[in-house]
Chain A
Amino acid sequence: MFKYTVKRLLGAIPTIFIIITVAFFLIRTAPGGPFDKERTVPPEVQANLNAVYHLDDPLWQQYVYYLKNVVQGDFGPSFQYRDYSVTELIGTGFPTSLTLGGIAILLALVLGATLGSIAALYQNSKIDYAVMATAMTGITIPNFVMAPLLTLIFGVYLSWLPVGGWGDSWNQAVLPIIALALPQIAYIARLTRGSMIEVLRSNFIRTARAKGLPHRSVITRHAMKAALLPVVSYLGPAAAAIITGSVVIEQIFGIPGIGRYFVQGALNRDYTLVMGVVIFYGTLIILFNLIVDLLYGYLDPKTRLQ
């Protein structure tokens, strides 16, 4: 297990290196630079700025310089938010994004798995149809439509919850978490339902029933564990989906997380900020996938490595 983990971690290094390289050159191919504004600065000021941020060096030199700094854990200064370094910005944004994303994914897991199992147990009943119809709606309505709708209904019309902000009171977190979790709840519910139906028909469940085990323990002890396997392997993509979702959600609710920096950074051609977020998220997803694989091995002996 330890050897496997180390091997996977070492294998991640080239991946991250490729991510850095591609992102570094890709963002620089976009027309316009960090200091191109409508109010164009005089050429000499532009030259000063470029010198301050090493933008006047040849591209390969900038690349080597950047790589060197990243290896030492320094993501450089932000071009747009000039009073902050990228490391500082990610440092202040990450706890927020983690809280938001973490709760959303937990909520998605618990609610999704519960709803999916209920639907499976009452297959083709009214409950099943209701759950699946809701899930389908949840998947098809994109979060940039869902989020403003939720704020309009619960924030403006009903005045139950705040419509934006973060950190002033706990209830500011409610709407963004729901908006972020909804599509995942729906997806996990469908996934659980499908695999649960399959598992309930399998031989080992029939055996368990034949042995006279009570219904409840057949479901919770035997069926659930097997039915959740596809959900566990979906957790990797789910984390990625939560991260991309948070980019939109943080923007709409005015939440000071990393996703917002990604959007702003790209629009402002804030090269270092975008790079920092890409590397950070890339590493995070690689790590998360590793955890999922380890978890999978624990849950499903068939995939366990020797």
Chain B
Amino acid sequence: MKITNKISLTAALITGSLMASVSFSGQAEMVLKRGNGAEPGSLDPQIAEGVPSSHITRDIFEGLTAEDPQGNIIPGIAESWDISPDGKIYTFHLRDAQWSNGEPVTAHDFVYGWQRAVNPATGSEYSFLLYPVVNAQDIANGKITDVSELGVRAIDDKTFEVKLNGSTPYILGMINHSVAMPVHKATVDKYGERWTKPRNIVTNGAFHLTEWTPQSRIVISKSDTYWDKSAVKLDKVIFYPTEDQNAELKRYRAGELDWTYEVPNDQIRWIKANLADEFRAGNYLGTYYYGFNTEQPPFKDNINLRKALSMAVDREILTDKIVTAGEVPAYSLVVPGVTGYEPIYLDFKSLSKEARLAEARRLYKEAGYSKQNPLTVELRYNTNENHKKIAIAIASMWKNAFGAKVNLVNEEWKVYLETRKQKKVTQIFRAGWIGDYNDPNTFLELFLSDSGLNDIGFDSAEYDKLNMEASLEKDPAKRAALLARAERIFLDSHSLAPIYHYVVKRMVKPYVKGYSINVMDHSRDKYIYLEK
């Protein structure tokens, strides 16, 4: 009796599990597992900042404009838009789109989202992106207390109008940022700070947030209410926090991830030898550079010394031997390839290595230094293996070229940022900048004399003026010419030495299709599918 019982139970279990496995393979879900760097700070579009959050907000929310896989601007929730002749008024015509709770997405939702972004009470770190909009800055700094003064309005449910201070040709790319995404007001009002929790959140993107376990995983599922849902192929995307790049690579190799957030620099050689097919790299909208503190000696009023040091950096050796993922040697601040802009380069780019070195030595002497009286200088970077290797290499280039004594100093990130900002003890420091939108302005605005990011102390009235003129110029070609003149002035001052332009680099399994690297690294899971 006992035995027969056991047998029948086993049989039932076997058939049961067989049936389960059959039904499973019959409707296999298409799930993409992505490594996503650090745990996102927030998924609230107006509060979110940082790349990891942006990868997710871009999937679960959709703004007026969107991007195709190559990163070109295409219509999003706005089906089309009109631009006034002076370029200052944009009128967006919204399509029939729904929130995940079935309600229609209206122009009022955008008005609310944008007002919320500039409202000081929200504490948004990216509100400044909306400063081109009339009254945005005054509302953010409290000069105007009524947020409805912001230059946006809903003409009707389907028409959203934006008034700008000046013609801002990059606005269509900029409003891709989550800070300009619509938000469902009733949900925010009802749940307050808890509105982004999976059980509360209402979204309008291709995916909907279904699980968020901090430091463990964020799961988004295909949305049934998305206007373009037939184009969405993935059923689910799971984002795993992966701060440790080496651990991430191991998880990828073990098959636990389909897609990595980054690739550790010291593994690239191994990857190229063993997993070359799965290694994806492409230009990224960013520049890695060494800044000179022009407010303190020895670089204050010493262009010859700055230029000599910049010329003696062999950028090709650095990108061939040290960073190796396909980074491009940099001779400009604005990344070449920015839309509608002809690149401007440092004046010595065309010289041969020998000629550069000879000229560098001459300038070094002219600056008052020699073998007997060598330059002693501090090179500062934030603690990181990659930065360290580059610093060592460049220090030795300067030692070989001039006999200069370079002391390397490293500091923990937040300490480093503070030191840099004070411009007191820094001499040469490492920095990098990734553009926020595809326009030269995202780089050139850094070094306006009143910019909070101007850690080199660059101060040129002419430069400020050209940038100001460009911001008011309507004609794109004329505007580009003004910006190019500004960059020329900046590069000729040799206030920083561009080293290389960044690359986007990640591992992607061969069965992941529809992915294309773009300069903004804005990938949308809407376009991705798996072919296993």
Q: A36-B418, A83-B43 are in contact. List 12 more A-B contacts (CB 8 A).
A: A32-B418, A36-B414, A42-B128, A42-B140, A42-B141, A44-B141, A81-B41, A83-B197, A92-B214, A162-B256, A163-B247, A252-B247
Q: How far is the CA of A257 from the CA of B213 in the complex (A)?
A: 11
List residues of chain A with CB within 8 A of the CB of B125: 35, 37, 39, 41, 45, 49
Would A36 and B417 count as touching, CB distance under 8 A?
yes
Q: How far is the CA of A128 from the CA of B47 in the complex (A)?
A: 60
Closest residue of A by beta carbon distance from B127: A45
Spell out A's residues near B (CB within 8 Å). 30-33, 35-45, 47-49, 51-53, 77, 80-84, 89, 92-93, 96, 148, 151-152, 155-156, 159, 162-167, 251-257, 260-261, 264, 267, 269
A69–chain B nearest beta-carbon distance, Å? 16
Q: Is the CB of A165 within 8 A of B247?
A: no
A151 near B247: Cβ-Cβ < 8 Å:
yes
What are 5 A-B contacts defined by CB distance under 8 Å? A31-B418, A36-B418, A83-B193, A256-B214, A257-B215
Stretch of B99-107, B236-244, B469-477 that contacts chain A: B236-244
Alpha-carbon separation in the docked complex, A195 to B214 (Å): 44
Q: Which of B116-124, B344-352, B521-529 contacts A (4 or more CB under 8 A)?
A: B116-124
Beta-carbon nearest neighbor of B417 in chain A: A36
Residue numbers in B under 8 Å from A253 (CB-CB): 247
How many angstroms between the C-alpha atoms of A81 and B52 in the bound complex? 12
Closest 6 CB pairs of A and B: A32-B414, A44-B141, A256-B216, A256-B215, A48-B120, A52-B123
Q: Cβ of A42 and Cβ of B452 under 8 Å apart?
A: yes
Say whether B165 faces chain A, with CB atoms less than 8 Å apart. no
Q: Does the CB pair A156–B254 fall under 8 Å? A: yes
Task: For residue A262, give the distance in angstroms from its CB to the closest CB of chain B.
Answer: 12
Cβ-closest chain A residue relative to B255? A159
A252 touches B244 (CB 8 A): yes
A148 to B250, CA, bound (A): 9
Chain A CB within 8 A of B396 CB: no
Tell me, rounded to whole Å, the shortest Cβ–Cβ distance linking B39 to chain A.
7
B44 in contact (CB, < 8 A): yes
Q: Are B242 and A254 in contact (CB under 8 A)?
A: yes
CA distance A43 to B215 in the complex (A): 31
What is the distance, in angstroms, from B423's C-beta to the closest C-beta of chain A?
A: 13
Which chain B residues in 390-434 approach chain A with CB under 8 Å? Answer: 412-415, 417-419, 421, 431-433
Given contacts A93-B214, A251-B244, contact A45 B140 (CB under 8 A): yes
Asked whether any CB of chain A lies closer than 8 Å to the CB of B488, the reply is: no
A41-B128, A156-B254, A254-B247 known; A51-B120 Cβ under 8 A: yes
Shortest Cβ distance from B252 into chain A, in angstroms? 10
B321 close to chain A: CB less than 8 A: no
